[in-house]
């Protein structure tokens, strides 16, 4: 389980993600990792919620759209390119299972959702692409505001719904994105990573750069707890 928040800002895109991966096979154990992948020279960034089919999808997109091969495409042409990438992902995975004689007794990968960031000279775009086999026909969607992915029932989504009506600059939206992910913490969700993708910045933030927003989140949480739950 993961919790990821993507925000389309006036000057680019923010993606905030937890860092916890949980091994559900055999003895349950968790470890921290980075879930935001970015390739500045290719003008592409990704963050996925799902299984390893999402990893195949990311590689397909990098093969097909790296180095701004998307920059001259119309909206419908770009959407079709992302649809083609999902179809190619499924084809590659089916071929892999066939070539390696993987039978039906081995569980198939199901896919998930991937946020895709595309940067060209004119703009920074944010797309949500569902690779889940539950949907026969892929339908990539451009994101113009904010969207959470992962634990659909997590109460942390309240913060985005209530405070993200009109996203501002990437700098101004970082504290809200950080607070939302930190408040999603549970057995399967922990830690924080933030990627900032603009015309001039295309990377994840360092722990030092995130420290102020983390302290703001802690302060809000502490104040709220004291104000709403007063022990007698």
Residue 28's pLDDT band (boundaries 50, 70, 90)?
Answer: very low
- Total number of domains constituting the chain: 1
pLDDT score of 24? 46
- For the cut 50, the answer to whether the pLDDT of residue 29 exceeds it is no
The mean predicted confidence, pLDDT, of the chain is 89
pLDDT of residue 25: 46
CB atoms within 10 A of CB 143: 17
In this predicted structure, the answer to whether residue 231 has a pLDDT above a threshold of 70 is: no
Decide: residue 88, CB within 10 A, 0-12 exposed, 13-18 middle, 19+ buried: middle
pLDDT higher than 60, residue 31: no
3-state class (DSSP) for residue 196: strand
Report the helix count and the strand count for the chain, using DSSP H and E.
5, 12
Q: Which domain holds residue 64?
A: 3-228
Distance CA 37, CA 35 (A): 6
Query: What CATH code is carried by the domain that includes residue 191?
Result: 3.60.20.10
What global pTM score does this model have? 0.90
Q: How far apart are CA 146 and CA 148, in angstroms?
A: 7
Cβ count near 181 (within 10 Å):
29
Residue among 89, 108, 111 at smallest CA distance from 97? 108
């Amino acid at each position: 389980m993961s919790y990821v928040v993507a925000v389309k800002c006036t000057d680019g895109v923010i993606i905030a993600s937890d860092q916890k991966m949980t091994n559900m096979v055999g003895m349950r154990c968790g470890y921290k990792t980075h879930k935001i992948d970015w390739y500045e020279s290719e003008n592409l960034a990704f963050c996925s919620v799902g299984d390893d089919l999402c990893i195949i999808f990311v590689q397909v997109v990098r093969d097909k759209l790296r180095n701004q091969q998307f920059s001259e495409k119309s909206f419908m042409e770009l959407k079709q390119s992302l649809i083609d990438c999902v179809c190619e992902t499924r084809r590659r995975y089916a071929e892999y299972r066939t070539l390696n004689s993987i039978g039906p007794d081995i569980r198939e990968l199901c896919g998930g959702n991937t946020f895709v960031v595309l940067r060209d000279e004119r703009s920074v775009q944010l797309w949500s692409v569902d690779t889940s086999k539950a949907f026969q026909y892929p339908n990539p969607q451009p994101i113009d505001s904010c969207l959470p992915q992962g634990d659909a029932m997590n109460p942390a989504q309240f913060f985005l719904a209530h405070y993200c009506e009109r996203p501002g600059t990437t700098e101004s939206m970082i504290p809200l994105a950080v607070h939302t992910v930190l408040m999603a913490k549970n057995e399967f969700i922990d830690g924080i990573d933030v990627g900032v993708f603009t015309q001039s910045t295309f990377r994840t933030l360092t722990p030092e750069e995130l420290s102020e927003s983390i302290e703001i989140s802690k302060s809000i949480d502490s104040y709220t707890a004291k104000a709403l739950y007063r022990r007698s």
